[in-house]
Amino acid sequence: MTTIPNASSLPVTWWKSSASGAQSDCVECGIVDTDTVAVRDSKAPTGPAVLFGRDALAAMVGAVAAGTL
């Protein structure tokens, strides 16, 4: 896992879940390359981003969905 100090410096298109609606407490994702996904706080677009490998991100989302994280 890598942290990027300014998420807006990444050459990605950010998106958030369509279930987020107009809420401001969301995370956004952006595809960096075939193996890496960036995640940032939607309220802080120039704040930090965390880079995850696809498998690591899938494991984290699965753990959140299962209530184990």
pLDDT digits (tens, 9 = 90+) for 15-67: 987 767 666 678 899 999 999 999 999 889 999 999 999 999 999 999 999 99
- How many structural domains is the chain composed of? 1
- 37: closest CA among 7, 63, 62? 7
| Residue 59 half-sphere exposure toward CB, CA atoms < 13 A | 5
Q: What does the pLDDT read at residue 22? A: 67
What pLDDT does residue 17 have? 74
Q: What is the pLDDT of residue 36?
A: 96
Residue 29 is predicted with a pLDDT of 94
Domain enclosing residue 11, as ranges: 2-66
pTM of the model: 0.83
